[in-house]
Every structure is written in C-alpha cells, then in structure tokens.
Structure 1
Amino acid sequence: MLLTYQFKLNPTPEQVVILETWGELLRRHWNYALGERLDWLRRTRSQIDRCSLVSEPIGEIPDKPDYYTQASNLKQTKELFADYKNIYADCQQQNLMRLDKAWKRWLIPDKKGKRGGKPRFKKRGDISSFTFPRVNSLKAGAHLTGNILKLSKIGEIEVILHRPIPDGFEIKQATILNKADGWYVSFSLEDKTVPELLPIDEIKTATGIDVGLEKFLTTAEGQSIEVPQYYRKAQSTLARQQRKLARKVKGSKNYCKQANKVALTHLHVARQRKEFHYQVAHWLVNSYDLIVFENLNIRGLARTRLGKSILDVAWGAFLQIMEAVAVRRGKHTTGVDPRGTSINCSSCGERVEKTLSVRVHSCSCGLVIDRDWNSALNLLKRGSVGLPIPGCGGLDVSQPVKQQVSYVNLRCSRYTACS
C-alpha cells in the first residue's frame, strides 16, 4: 500500500527562485507538448478529401506524438533552450507522463465508459509541482538524510519533520509543490505491513451511513454528526478579501500580496474540512467492522441549486478518506444503490412518499423516526445481505417506535483513536 506523508520545506531565497524557474519552464514544455498532440489530432480527425482548408493547416501530416516520441525530443529541447539543461531530466519526463495520462483519460473511456476532461494549456503559475521518481537510490535525484533533503541541481533543503517516517517504510518518490503558505514535499511511502481484511465470518459490528446537508451523516444506530459548514462560515472573510483584490492593479506587487491572502483563506478552509473528514473516518472505523455507504452521483448533484452546500461538505473526499483508513485497519466498506432508501420503511418495507422538506419518516406500521436514520437502516440492510450480522434487519420489535437522533461530538486527533 502506498501512503503519502507531506512535510514543510524551508528553502533559501536562492532556492525559491530555482524552484519557481523550474515550474515556469515545465509549464512552457507542457504547453508545447500539448500543442503537438492537438495539432496532430486536428489534422487527422477527418478524411483527407473532406478536411477544411480554411480552418486547418495544409502540408505534411506529422507522426502521432506520444510519451516516447516527446521524451526522445528532450535532448533537442536542451540544445535549443539552454535553460532546460538546469532541470533534472527525470522531472521533465514525469511532466510528460502527467500529460500522457491526462491525454489518455480524455480520449480513452474507462470501464464504466466515462472519460476525463480535455487537457488544457497552463497559465503562469498553474504548474506548481514536479516529481523526483526515485529517492535514496543509486541514481536518484533526491536523497533524504535526517531532516535534510538533497535535490539534484537545487541543493540541500531543510525539511520540517513534524512526524517521523515509520521504520520499514520505503520512500518511492518525492513531489515538490508550492502552496499559498510555502513549499512542501510529499513523500510516497510503500507500506508492506498492511493488515489483511477481517474475515467475513468475524464481522461483529456493522452500520450504514446516510450523508446529507442538514446532518453530515447519520448512522444506523441513530447517531448523527452536524455539518461544520467551513466554507459558509468563511464566506464573509473571503468576500472582503476578494473585494480588496478587485481594487488592486492587476500584476502589481500589491495585487500579488492580496491574491496570496485570498489563496490562504481557501487553503485554511480546505485544511479544516480535511481534518474533520479524518476525525469522522477514524471514529467510524474504530467503531465498526463494516461500513455501508450510498453510491451517490455527487458530480450530478453539484449541478443543482444546492451545489455550493454539496461541494462544501465534500462527500466524495470523505468517502475516499474513509475507505483508505478502513484498508489500513483491515475493516470493510461497501457502497450500495441509494435509490428508495429514504422512501422505503426500514421496518415493514412499505413505500412512504415524502418531499425533501419532510425530515421525519412516519409509516402506517407505527414507525416514526428521523428520515436520515431510516435511510441508514435501509442502507445497512442492502449492504449486509448474506452476512452473519445480528440486528441488521431494521428496528427490533422491542425497540420504541418514536426515537430522536443523538448527535456525536467529535474531539479526536487524526492519528489517534476516537472515543
């Protein structure tokens, strides 16, 4: 299993200039390589007797560009532009690999028939990271010794190791990236001690989670977590910073300073949200052996009038974090179809039609519970079919038919167990 540990760097002013120069040169090379691919595509996408001579250039059609042909041209690039000789060769190759992956995601659909967006030309500052694919090996361009990271053609940079790299982990690659508050390095670590998944017959606790906007999630036991709304709370501060930015002369030093303040606000919100996701994920994985969630079309839901709130809670990012935490603990997660989970009664199975504004599920069988709780119970039913889990068939007859959802107050660290 590959893990990513990110640490803050403390480069000198001279090294900052070199890092920024590398990003700019790699951006130009990305744009040139992308232009080659798009030029070939425009010339070969229609039959030769039907090609428009007005919108398309005429002449000899170039060979199809791919990663290997463009990587072989790096030597010629360094002869024409001497600045590229100062960039470590593996970083330039990794830059072309990124473009090749983006190109294939756009043209070649995946197993589900979906494709990625069209690769775009990068503006100044868009490429703010580059990768050293080998670390601490014989021909590696990056070597980590203690808290000193030695990069080829850049020099030694101090790394602020706020947590130690575990023993037995092998550093596979290092990515240098620029954020609003400075430079960072992300180490890709290979962990060969990942525990095996818990056997199915040993699963003792299971739950279903229903995510929402009124409550971040509700479990099948009736526990709920409130939505923190980090972006909503920061909107007034962000609007004030953006108004100040609009009054600055674009491209001036004051404009750049104010733009960095706006970026810092966004970065703070993103870090708050990520920390919250890790806290909830660790709490769930510590409490249950099996977690059943709903496979939502989050991209489609984000296009509705509730798009801002949906993107603020970031269900997709949370589910990815929860699945990664579960794998490291040897726990199970599974996604099920969410259709009908909030309409069907978890006790008798009867359909109880209700609008989105109705937050209480009231069935003719006498069951009156929170709408999200009812949905979580249905999710648990669907995800635990065939599993030897007691008490997963909805509410027991001995339980009262009117209950209230209890809220969980999370106060835990990302790396410690939640109570």
Structure 2
Amino acid sequence: MLLTYQYKLRPTPEQASTMEVWGELLRRHWNYALGQRLDWLHRTRCQIDRCSIVSEPIGDIPEKVDYYTQASELKQTKELFPEYKNIYADCQQQNLMRLDKAWKRLLTFDKKGKRGGRPRFKKRGDICSFTFPRVNHPKAGANLIGSTLKLSKIGEVEVILHRPIPNSFTIKQATIVKKADGWHVSLSLEDNTVPEPLPVDEIKSAVGIDVGLEKFLATSDGQAIEIPQFYRKSQQKLARQQRQLARMEKGSKNHKRQSNKVARLHLHIARHRKEFHYQVAHWLCDQYDLIAFENLNIKGLARTRLAKSILDAAWGSFLNILITVAVKRGKWAIGDDPRGTSIECSGCSKRVEKTLKDRVHHCPHCGLVIDRDWNSGINILNRVQRTLGLVFAGCGGDLGASPVRQQFSIASLGSPHYTRKS
C-alpha cells in the first residue's frame, strides 16, 4: 500500500530561489512540449483528401510526438538553453511524464466511456512542484538522512519531521511542493505491513452511514456527527481579505503579500477539514468492522443550488479517506447504490414518498417514526448486509401504537487536538 507523508522544509533563501527557478523553467518546458503535441494533433485531424487553410497550418505533417521522442530532445534543449543544465535530469523527465499522462487521458476512453479534458498551458506560478523519482538510492537525486534532505544541485535542506517514518516503510519518491506557507516535501511510502481484510464470517459489528448537510453523517445505530462548516464559518474573514486584495494594484508587492494571506486562509480551512475527516474515519473504524455508505454522484449534486454547502462538507474526500483508513486497519468500507434509501421504510420496506424538507420518516404502514437520515443509514446497512450475506440485529424505530420520534445522540470525537493515527 502506498502512503504519502508530507513534511515542512526550511530551505535557505538561496535554495528557495533555486527551487522557484526550477519551477519556472519546468513550466516553460511543459508549454513547449504541449505545443508540440497540439501542433501534431491539429495537422493530423483533417481528412486525407482535403485540408482547411483557415483552421489548419500548411506544411509537412510532423511525426507523432510521445514521451520518448520528447525525452530524447532534452539533450538538445540543454544545448540551446544552458540554464536547463542546472535542473536534475530526472525532474525534467518526470515533468514530461505528467504531461504524457494528461495527454493520454485526452485521447483514450475510461471504463465509463469518457475522456479527460485537454491539457492546458501553464501560466507563471502554476507549476510549483517537481519530483525526484528515487530516494536513498545510489543513483538517487534525493537522500533523506535523519532530518536532512539532500537534493541534487540544491543542497541539504532541513526537514521538520513532526512524525517519524516507520522502519518498515520504504521511501519510493519525493516531491517538492510550494504552498502558501512555504516549501514542503511529500514522501511516497510503501507499507508492506497492511493487514489482510477481516474475513466476512468474523465481522462482529457493522454500521451504515448517511452523509448530509444538516448533520455531517448519521449512523444506523442512532448516532450523529455535527457538520463543522469550516468554509461557511470563515466566509466573513475570507471576504474581508479578498476585498482588500481587490483594491490593490496587480503585480505590486502589497498585492502579492495580500494574495498570500488569502491563500493561507484557504489552506487553513482545507487542513481543518481534512483533519476532521480523519477524526471521523478513525472514530468509525475504532467501533465497527464494516462501514457501509452511499456511492453518491457528488459532481452532479455540486451543480445544484446547494453546491457551496456540499463542497464545504467534501463528502468525496471523506469517503476516500474512510476507505484508506479502513484498508490500513483491515476493516471493510463498502459503497452501495443510494437510490431509494430515503423513501424506503427500514421497518417494513414499503415506499414512503417525501420531499427534501421532510426530515422525519413516518411510515403509515407499520407506524415507524424515525429521523430521515437514521432511516437511510439503516437501509444502507441492510443492503450491504444482503450483498455480503451477513445478518445483524438491525436498529429500528418504535413500533408501538403511539409512535414517538426517535432522537439522535451526538457522537463525541474527543478534544479538538485529536492525534491522527499513522
């Protein structure tokens, strides 16, 4: 299993300047290589017996361009532009590999029959990362020794190791990234100690979760997690900083300084959200062996008028983190079709139509009165159980003659300074 640990770097001003120059030179090389590919595409897309002199260039049709032809031209690039000799060769090759992957996504179809978008030309500052594909290798350009990262043609850079790298992990590659708060290194690690998934017949506890906007998630056993709304709560502060940015002249030092403040605030919000997602994922894996969830069409939901709240909750990122944490701990995290989970009664399986504003599920057939999200969580769990052939005691509502609405209990994730498990 591949993991990524990110650490803060403390480069000297000279080293930081060198890394910024590398990013700018790699950006120019990206644009030139992309222009070559687009030129080949435009010259070869017309029919054989006719050519449009309006939209198609006239001249000899060039040979097909791919990664290998462009990588073989690196030697000529260094002769024409000597500044590229100061960049480690593997970093230039990795830059071309990124472009090649983006280009293949444009030309080939995925499993759903869709293609990726066209790669774009990068403006100044867009490429702020470069990769060393080998670390701690005799021919590697990056070597991590203790808290010092030795980079070829850059020098020794201090690394803030806020958490140790386990001895069982193998460092595969290192990516130097510039963010609003400085330079970081992302180490790609291979973990061979990941346990095998728990056998199905040994699963002792299971839960179904229903994500939402009123509550971040509701479980099938009656617990709920409050939605933090990190972006919503920071909107006023962010708007104030952006108004100040809009008043400043573009390109000035004050504009760059204020732009960095806005970027830092966005980074702060994203990190808080990510830490919250890890807290919830570990909380679920601590209590349950099987977590069932809905495979939502989040891209489609993000096109509605609830887009800002949906993107603030970041369900997709949370579910990806949940799956990763479950795999690392040998647990199960399984998605299921979300259709009908809200209108199906968890007590008698009858359909009970309701609108979005109806937050209580009241079944006229069996008398079950339960929170709408709670009912969905139970249905999700029941569907996954049937798929795996498991039988658990379900959590239903009050089936008495005079039903009472069942209330959620708010789950506690501990103190705000929750320590994430590695």
Q: TM-score, normalised by structure 2?
A: 0.96
Gaps of 5+ in 2: none
Deviation at 1:106, TM superposition (A): 2.0
The separation in 2 between residues aligned to 1:237 and 1:48, in whole angstroms, is 59
Q: Which residue of 2 is the match for residue 380 of structure 1?
A: 381
> Could you tell me whether the CA contact under 8 Å between 2:371 and 2:405 is conserved in 1?
no
Instruction: Tell me the equivalent position of 1:339.
Output: 339
Alignment of 1:79-158 (within 5 A): 79-158=79-158
Change (3 A) 1:414 1:102: farther
2:274 counterpart letter in structure 1: K
* Residue 420 (structure 2) aligns with: 415
> Which residue identity lines up with residue 382 of structure 1 in the other structure?
R
**Whole-Å separation in 2 of the counterparts to 1:393 and 1:59:** 72
Could you say what secondary structure the match of 2:204 adopts? coil
1:17-416 equivalences in 2 (<5 Å): 17-364=17-364, 365-385=366-386, 386-392=388-394, 402-411=405-414, 413-416=418-421
Q: Give the aligned residue type for 2:315.
A: W
Separation in structure 1 between the aligned mates of residue 84 and residue 2 of structure 2, nearest angstrom: 31
* Cα pair 1:361 1:367 within 8 Å, conserved: yes
> How much has 1:39 moved relative to structure 2?
1.0
- AA at the equivalent of 1:390: F
Give the RMSD, CA atoms, in angstroms. Answer: 1.6
Shift of 1:203: 0.4
- Return the offset for 1:406: 1.3
Measure the CA separation in 1 of the matches of 2:24 and 2:5. 25
CA contact (8 A) 1:282 1:414 kept: no
The alpha-carbon deviation at position 414 of structure 1 amounts to 4.2
SS in 1 for 2:216: strand
For 1:410 and 1:125, the matched residues in 2 are separated by 39
Q: Distance in 1 between matches of 2:302 and 2:235?
A: 18
Distance 1:393 1:64, change over 3 A: farther
Partner Cα separation in structure 2 for residue 396 and residue 358 of structure 1: 19
Does the Cα contact within 8 Å between 2:397 and 2:406 map onto a contact in 1?
no
| Offset from partner CA, 1:14-34 (integer Å, 9 cap, x none) | 001000000000001111111
For residue 9 of structure 1, what is the aligned residue in structure 2?
9
Q: CA deviation at 1:168?
A: 1.7
Q: Give, in whole Å, the separation in 1 of the partners of 2:131 and 2:173.
A: 7
Letter in 2 for 1:21: V
Distance 1:20 1:92 in 2: 14
Using a 3 Å threshold, how does the CA distance of structure 1 residues 414 and 121 change in structure 2: closer, same or farther?
farther
Is the contact between residue 275 and residue 414 of structure 1 (CA under 8 Å) also seen in structure 2? no
Runs of 5+ consecutive residues of structure 1 not aligned to the other structure: none
Q: Distance in 1 between matches of 2:300 and 2:66?
A: 33
Please list the CA deviations of residues 186-244 of structure 1 after superposition, one character each: whole Å capped at 9, or x if unmatched.
Answer: 11111111101000000010111100111100000011111100001111111111111
Check the 8 A contact 1:378/1:394 in 2, yes or no.
no
Could you tell me which amino acid in structure 2 is paired with residue 320 of structure 1?
N
Distance in 1 of aligned mates of 2:66 and 2:371: 55
Amino acid of the residue matched to residue 413 of structure 2?
L
Please report how far the alpha carbon of residue 397 of structure 1 lies from its aligned counterpart in structure 2 after TM superposition: 6.4
Q: How many residues align?
A: 417
Deviates more, 1:61-70 or 1:109-118: 109-118
Partners of 1:61 and 1:393 in 2: CA distance: 68
Secondary structure of the corresponding residue to residue 48 of structure 1: coil
The separation in 2 between residues aligned to 1:131 and 1:249, in whole angstroms, is: 34
Is the 8 Å Cα contact of residues 197 and 331 (structure 2) preserved in structure 1?
Answer: yes
> Counterparts of 1:117 and 1:286 in 2: how far apart (Å)?
40
Confirm or deny: 8 A CA contact 2:10 2:157 kept in the other structure.
yes
* Cα deviation, residue 107, structure 1: 1.8
Amino acid at match of 1:302: A
Summarize the Cα distance change of 1:60–1:216 in structure 2 as closer, same or farther, 3 Å threshold.
same
1:110-152 superposed Cα distances (whole Å, 9 cap, x missing partner): 1122322221111110101000000000100001111110000
- Superposition TM-score, scaled by structure 1 size: 0.97
Percent identical pairs in the alignment equals 72
CA contact (8 A) 1:384 1:392 kept: no
- Separation in 1, partners of 2:376, 2:259: 43
**Alignment deviations for residues 368-407 of structure 1 (CA, whole Å, 9 cap, x no partner):** 0000000111100111114333214855969976311111
Distance across 2 between alignment mates of 1:153 and 1:305: 50
Query: CA separation in 1, counterparts of 2:291 and 2:213?
Result: 20
User: In the superposition, relative to structure 1, how do residues 368 and 13 fare at CA in structure 2: closer, same or farther (>3 Å)?
Assistant: same
